[in-house]
Amino acid sequence: MYSTFVGLETARRALYAQRAAIDITGHNVSNVNTPGYRRQRPVIEATPPAPGALQPGTGVKVAGIERMRDQFVDTQIRHTLASLGRWEARQEILEEIQEVFKEPSDIGISAMMDRFWISWQELSGNATDPGRRTSVQQEAISLASAFNLAAAQLNETKADIDQNIKSLVHRVNTTASSIAELNREIVRGNVVGENVADLLDRRDYLVQQLASDVDVAVAEDNSGLVHVTVGGRILVAGTDARELAEDALITGGRIKGLNEAANMIIPGYLKELDDLANALIEKINEQHMAGYDLFGNSGGVFFEGEGAAGIRLSEEIEGNPGLIAAADQTDSPGNGRNALAMAQLKDGLTMVGGTATFRDFYGSILTGLGLETQESMRSREVYEGVLEQQKARQESVSGVSLDEEMIMLIKYSSAFDAAARLVTAVDEMLDRLINGTGLVGR
C-alpha cells in the first residue's frame, strides 16, 4: 500500500507543471511581435511510479522548454538573404547610374550630341555667320561638360560605394562580436541550467542579419556554440570574434553586390564613356585639322584632353569662334564644306571596328544598362518571392499564433483547475480519515 499523502504530492506536481506551461504560454503571447522570437512550448512528461507492484504514477513534470525551430529552413533563409542582398545592392547602383546618364532627356549626352551635329550642319550653310560659329562653340562646350559631369558622377558613386562597404564591414564586425558574446552567455547558461531559449533567438536573429550583408556558413557544436565563416575565413569561432578580412572571398550579400558595382559595373560604364569621348576627340580633330578657319589658317585641335573626364573644347576656339575650321579651302573661308563634313561624322561608322556610329555606340551603352538593371530587378523579385515562401514555412514552425496560444492557455488552465480540484478531493479524503475514524457508535 502507498501513503494517502501521495495524492497531494501528485496534485502539487500537476499544479506546478500546469502553472509553468501557463507561464510559457504567456511568454509566447508577450513576444508575438518580437523580431526573431521563436515560439516555445513546455516538454511535459509523466514522473516515474513509486517502486513496487501495482503502484500508480506519481504525476507530471516539465522536463524542459522546447524552442520551435526548423534548422533547415533557417539555413535556406540565410542563403536567400545573401542572394537578395546582392541583387538589391546591384539594382540600387544601376538605378543611380541611370540617373547619371539622364536618358532620355534634353540634358543627356544623346541630346547634346544631336545639338552639336546640328550646329555644324547649320554652320555649313553660312560659315561666316558669327552667331552660327558661336553656336558650334557653345554646343561643343555643353557636350564636353555633359561627358565631364557623367564621369564625375560615376566616380562619386564609386566613392560612395567604397564608403558604404566600409560601413557594412564595420557592421559585420560589430555583429560578429555580439554573436561571440551571446555564445559566451549561452554556454554559461547551459552550465548552470538556465533557460537560454531567448538568447538563442537573439543569436539566430543576428546571424540572419549578418547573412544580408555577407554569405555566411554557420555550424553549431554540441556545446551550443555557433561558428561563423565567410568565404572560408573564420569570422566567429565560439566566443572569439575576428574582423572580416579585406581579401575574404565574399560570394553573396550587399557587400558582394556593392563590390561588383564598384569594381566591375561602374568601371565598365566609365570605360565605354571614355571610348566614346576618345573617338569623338580623334575623329573631330582629324576632320577639323583638314579644314581652314575664318582667317584662312589650317584648322587646329578642336577638342583637347582624354576620356570622358578630360574632354574639353580647345582654349583657342573657346576664346575665338573664328578659329573654327568650317571651310575646305584657304581662299574661300565661307564655303562651309568642312563644317558639312564635320556634321556628316554623325552618321560615320567610326565605332566598334567601323560597324557603328557614335549614336549607335552610345545607344548600346544605354541598352546594356537597361538590360542589366532589368536583370537585377528580376533576380531581386525572384529571391523576394523565395524568401517570402521560406519565411512562411519558418513562421508555421516558429511563429506565435495568438489563436493557438489562447487554446493552449485554456487547456493548461483547465488542467490547473482539475489539479486544484484533486487537492480538494484528497483533502476531503484525509479529513474523513483523520477526523471521522473511530466515531462509529458514539
Which tens digit of pLDDT belongs to each residue from 411-422? 999 999 999 998
First-to-last alpha carbon distance for the chain, in angstroms, is 29
pLDDT in tens, 283-315: 999 999 999 999 889 999 999 999 999 999 999
Count CA atoms closer than 13 A to 215's CA, side-chain side. Answer: 17
pLDDT class of 1 with cuts at 50, 70, 90: low
Mean pLDDT of the region 106-123: 93
Query: Which residue is it, cell 528580376?
Result: 378
Torsion of CA 144, 147, 150, 152, to 10 degrees: -70
**What pLDDT sits at residue 92?**
95
Name every residue whose Cβ is closer than 8 Å to that of residue 52 and which is 6 or more positions away in sequence: 2
β-partners of residue 237 are 227, 240
**What pLDDT sits at residue 17?**
94
Q: pLDDT at residue 134 above 70?
A: yes
Mean pLDDT of the region 91-103: 92
Q: Is-contact 316 310, C-beta < 8 A?
A: no
Mean pLDDT of the region 271-289: 96
pLDDT class of 2 with cuts at 50, 70, 90: low
Name every residue whose Cβ is closer than 8 Å to that of residue 252 and which is 6 or more positions away in sequence: 79, 82, 83, 85, 86, 214, 215
pLDDT class of 120 with cuts at 50, 70, 90: very high
**What pLDDT sits at residue 439?**
59
**In terms of pLDDT, which residue wins out, 432 or 98?**
98
C-alpha span between 236 and 79 (Å, rounded): 18
Grid cell in block for residue 278: 576618345
Tally of CB atoms within 10 A around 191: 10
Grid cell in block for residue 376: 537585377
> Taking the alpha carbons of 378, 381, 385, 386 in that order, is the dihedral positive or negative?
positive
High-pLDDT (> 90) share of the chain, %: 78
From the CA atom positions of the chain, what is the Rg in Å?
Answer: 39
pLDDT in tens, 179-236: 999 999 999 998 888 889 999 999 999 999 999 999 999 998 888 899 999 988 899 9
- Written in H, E and C, the secondary structure of the chain is CCCCCHHHHHHHHHHHHHHHHHHHHHHHHHCCCCCCCCCEEEEEEECCCCCCCCCCCCCEEEEEEEECCCHHHHHHHHHHHHHHHHHHHHHHHHHHHHHHHCCCCCCCHHHHHHHHHHHHHHHHHCCCCHHHHHHHHHHHHHHHHHHHHHHHHHHHHHHHHHHHHHHHHHHHHHHHHHHHHHHHHHHHHHHHCCCCHHHHHHHHHHHHHHHHHCCEEEEECCCCCEEEEECCEEEEECCEECCCCCCCCCCCHHHHHHHHHHHHHHHHHHHHHHHHHHHHHHHHHHHHCCCECCCCCECCCCEECCHHHHCEECHHHHHCHHHCCCECCCCCCCCCHHHHHHHHHHHCCCECCCCECHHHHHHHHHHHHHHHHHHHHHHHHHHHHHHHHHHHHHHHHHCCCHHHHHHHHHHHHHHHHHHHHHHHHHHHHHHHHHHHCCCCCC
Q: Is-contact 432 73, C-beta < 8 A?
A: no
pLDDT class of 123 with cuts at 50, 70, 90: very high
